[in-house]
């Protein structure tokens, strides 16, 4: 045994063996539920899924009809799957910087408030209590519905604009405004909280020193102290945002359930909605499993690339 | 925004901050107002051409219809969601605490391999692998059952990591004192370590409650029969249907948001703490 601590004396071998057995028993009792649960719902699931991804499995989850890489080929040659990948990349490229900037901006703003800080923090964070389904309902039927009395169209009417169809058409592609704002509203408060926590950990002396050195403008203080000191938080936030964006499902499913009317163009399905359709509607579990691994691979690669980039940036600085 | 670095300028910038905060707060609060307003309107008012700030006359028929809906009764859906959230939050947190304590404080040869086995699962993104999870749960007969909704989500590797970190810092002197009093490993955990981690348990438990109440993809996949719809799945089914009873749908949404709004306002301290703990993942 390599790890031994000085708490128990080893004078009597019998007592020590009993203590070891007690430790083992306690360890097994405390870890068994977690180990068994993760084994069944993660390890067995991933193993079975991997085998299914090499199997012909329509309407069945039984293994046996091996087809090699056929399911992966089916997916990668399906234009709708490729569209779904393109769509999620575009979505990620839009939503991540927007959420990042707004969350950081709100954190700086809330931090400047003396009185009422808690009130505004709660206000910006409150949407986190709302589900994607409820938010999609509000966005689809009230904020951005196609009728003239929706909020967006009422505002458009004030400047003489005709009612806009928003999610009911791809031309113009204003459905992006709906998709992006709903997620922005739901998630920005959470990341604001993370930035706020980071800001409050920055030592006040840094600002004092900078002011003595003459870097007095708010913008300079932000650029030379606040933002660099938030480096770790920023890296974590971008990582969490990217992983979440690649797995987007709820708002796409609920806002665009009938798809986007009027081809050509994407049919409004990100990868997870596409896979839901393949696995749960068409019951093709082989292709569905293959898709799960492709999306997982994509997320892992993007995450690793990002860590690489961040690592390089650190060496530059 | 202009900020002049003089005493008066600083006052001006403070006023500017409050002004900006109020301007930003409006779009954040607007959807809550719409939710409430719409739940009190009639179908005709909701489809009207003219914008209306408030219903002509308060209409509560939507709330009646929501509970009266024969295909997706709101009462049943609320019951399912309550079961999922009320069971998942404490159980998943407790399981993570137990495992986290064991790998942190019990020195057996298996501690390291078990810990690696647990954190390796963090590499796998949860939602993206819903098909393989569905295959396993389906093969065990979990489709259209409450356990199928609840059990697969009880094992949170990241929470294990957080609890391990906490228990590693748990003072050795307290453990030794417990030993002197005749407590074994389980006794030290149950009597001393667990009560000391109440703050972490509250923070992660409240977050888990919110996540489970608002969960959509997994309940949609596993609860296919209306009897096993959670409130999110029931609302989504109505939202994506051909004909929509809008006041009833908005009334359902109001009812579904109320429990969480209360949790949010009462336990915000713990939520903020939980977010801070779970956000420092990278």
- Which tens digit of pLDDT belongs to each residue from A83-97? 999 999 999 999 999
pLDDT at A262: 42
pLDDT digits (tens, 9 = 90+) for A96-116: 999 999 999 999 999 999 888
Domain locations along chain A: 1-37, 72-310
Average pLDDT over residues B144-172: 96
Top-level CATH class of A72-310?
mainly alpha
pLDDT value at position A1?
Answer: 39
Mean pLDDT of B40-64: 91
pLDDT tens digits, A107-164: 999 999 988 899 999 999 999 999 999 999 999 999 998 888 899 999 988 998 888 8
Grade residue B155 by pLDDT with cuts at 50, 70 and 90: very high
Residue B211 pLDDT: 95
* Inter-chain residue contact A289 with B179, CB threshold 8 Å: no
Chain B residues in contact with A35 by the CB 8 A cut-off are 99, 114, 117-118
In Å, what is the CA distance from A183 to each residue of A70, A132, A188?
Answer: 35, 8, 8
Q: Determine the Cα–Cα distance for residues B164 and A30; give it in Å rounded to an integer.
A: 13
Percent of chain A with pLDDT over 90: 66
Taking residues A167-182, what's their average pLDDT?
89
Q: Does B216 touch chain A (CB under 8 A)?
A: yes
Tell me, what's the pLDDT at B277? 80
pLDDT in tens, B63-115: 999 998 877 789 999 999 999 999 999 999 999 999 999 999 999 999 999 99
| pLDDT of res. A301 | 93
In three-state secondary structure terms, A284 is strand
Q: What is the pLDDT of residue A263?
A: 40
Report the C-alpha gap between B141 and A101 in whole angstroms. 46
Mean pLDDT of B212-230: 96
**A81–B contact, CB cutoff 8 A:** no
Average pLDDT over residues B172-186: 94
Answer whether B257 sits within 8 Å of A43, measured CB to CB.
no
Residues of A in contact with B133 (CB under 8 A): 41, 45
How far from the centroid of its chain's Cα atoms is residue B144's Cα? 22
* In contact, B122 and B110? CB cutoff 8 Å: no
Residue A259 has pLDDT above 60, yes or no: no
State the pLDDT at residue B2.
Answer: 45
B281 pLDDT exceeds 50? Answer: no
pLDDT of amino acid B1? 42
Tell me how far apart the alpha carbons of residues B37 and B49 are, in angstroms, rounded to a whole number: 16
- Rounded to an integer, the average pLDDT of A78-85 is 93
Mean pLDDT across chain A, nearest whole number?
88
Q: For position A37, what pLDDT does the model report? A: 97
ipTM score of complex:
0.92
- Considering the entire predicted model, what is its pTM? 0.91
The answer to whether residue B23 neighbours chain A at the CB level (below 8 Å) is no
Region B212-240: what's the mean pLDDT?
Answer: 95
Mean pLDDT of A175-195: 96
Contacts of B222 (CB under 8 A, 6+ apart): B134, B137, B142, B143, B144, B145, B148, B149, B228
Please give the average per-residue pLDDT across B204-222, as a whole number: 96
Q: Which residues make Cβ contacts (< 8 Å) with residue A119, sequence separation at least 6?
A: none
CB contact under 8 A, B134 and A279: yes
Q: What share of chain A is helix, strand, coil (3-state, %, to 5)?
A: 75, 0, 25
For A:155-184, CB contacts with B below 8 A are: none
* Mean pLDDT within A186-200: 94
Residue B48 CB neighbours (<10 A): 14
In this complex, is the C-beta atom of B18 within 8 Å of any C-beta atom belonging to chain A? yes
* C-alpha to C-alpha distance for A135 and B250, rounded to whole angstroms: 11
| Average pLDDT score over chain B | 91
Q: At what angle do helices A175-200 and A117-125 cross, to 10 degrees?
A: 140
Give the model's pLDDT for residue A237: 93
Write out chain A residues lying below 8 Å of B17, CB-based.
109, 112-113
Q: Cβ distance A254 to A135 under 8 Å? A: no
Cβ <8 Å between A217 and B138: no
Report pLDDT for A194. 94
- Cα separations (Å) of B179 from A23, A237, B64, B126? 13, 42, 60, 40
Contact A272 B17 (CB under 8 A): no
Cβ–Cβ gap A130/B138 under 8 Å: no
């Amino acid at each position: 045994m390599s790890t031994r601590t000085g708490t128990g004396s080893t004078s009597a071998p019998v007592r020590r063996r009993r203590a070891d057995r007690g430790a083992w028993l306690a360890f097994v009792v405390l870890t068994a539920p977690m180990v068994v649960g993760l084994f069944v719902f993660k390890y067995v699931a991933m193993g079975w899924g991997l085998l299914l991804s090499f199997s012909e499995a329509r309407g069945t989850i039984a293994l046996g009809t091996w087809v090699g890489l056929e399911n992966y080929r089916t997916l990668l040659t399906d234009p709708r799957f490729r569209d779904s990948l393109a769509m999620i990349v575009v979505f990620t490229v839009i939503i991540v910087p927007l959420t990042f900037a707004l969350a950081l901006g709100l954190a700086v703003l809330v931090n400047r408030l003396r009185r009422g800080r808690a009130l505004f923090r709660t206000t910006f964070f409150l949407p986190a209590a709302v589900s994607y389904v409820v938010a999609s309902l509000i966005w689809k039927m009230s904020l951005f519905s196609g009728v003239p009395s929706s909020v967006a169209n009422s505002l458009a009417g004030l400047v003489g604009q005709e009612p806009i169809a928003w999610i009911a058409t791809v031309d113009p592609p204003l459905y992006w405004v709906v998709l992006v704002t709903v997620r922005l509203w739901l998630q920005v408060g959470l990341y604001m909280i993370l930035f706020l926590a980071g800001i409050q950990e920055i030592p006040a002396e840094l600002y004092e020193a900078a002011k003595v050195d003459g870097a007095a403008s708010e913008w300079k203080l932000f650029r030379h102290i606040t933002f660099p000191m938030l480096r770790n938080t920023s890296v974590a936030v971008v990582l969490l945002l990217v992983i979440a964006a690649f797995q987007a499902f709820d708002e796409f499913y609920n806002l665009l359930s009938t798809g986007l009317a009027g081809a050509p163009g994407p049919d409004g399905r990100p990868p997870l909605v596409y896979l839901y359709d393949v696995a749960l509607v068409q019951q093709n579990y082989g292709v569905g499993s293959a898709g799960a691994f492709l999306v997982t691979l994509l997320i892992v690669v993007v995450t690793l690339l990002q860590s690489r980039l961040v690592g390089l940036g650190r060496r530059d600085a | 925004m202009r900020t002049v670095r003089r005493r008066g300028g600083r006052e001006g910038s403070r006023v500017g901050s409050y002004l900006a905060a109020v301007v930003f707060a409006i779009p954040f609060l607007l959807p809550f107002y719409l939710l409430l307003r719409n739940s009190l309107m009639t179908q005709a008012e909701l489809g009207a051409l003219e914008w209306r700030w408030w219903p002509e006359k308060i209409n509560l028929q939507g709330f009646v219809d929501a509970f009266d809906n024969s295909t997706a009764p709101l009462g049943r859906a609320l019951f399912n969601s309550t079961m999922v959230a009320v069971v998942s939050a404490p159980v998943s947190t407790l399981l993570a605490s137990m495992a986290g304590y064991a790998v942190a404080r019990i020195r057996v040869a298996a501690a390291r391999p078990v810990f690696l086995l647990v954190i390796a699962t963090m590499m796998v993104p949860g939602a993206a692998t819903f098909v393989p999870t569905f295959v396993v749960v389906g093969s065990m007969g979990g489709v259209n059952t409450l356990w199928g909704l609840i059990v697969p989500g009880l094992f949170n590797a990241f929470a294990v990591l957080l609890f391990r970190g906490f228990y590693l810092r748990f003072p050795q002197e307290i453990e030794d004192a417990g030993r002197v009093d005749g407590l074994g490993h389980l006794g030290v955990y149950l009597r001393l370590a667990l009560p000391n981690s109440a703050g972490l348990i509250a923070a992660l438990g409240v977050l888990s409650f919110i996540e489970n109440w608002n969960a959509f993809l997994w309940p949609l996949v596993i609860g296919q029969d209306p009897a096993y719809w959670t409130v999110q799945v029931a609302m989504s089914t109505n939202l994506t249907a051909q004909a929509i009873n809008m006041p009833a749908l908005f009334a359902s949404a109001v009812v579904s948001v109320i429990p969480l709004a209360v949790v949010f306002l009462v336990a915000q301290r713990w939520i903020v703490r939980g977010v801070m703990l779970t956000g420092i993942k990278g």
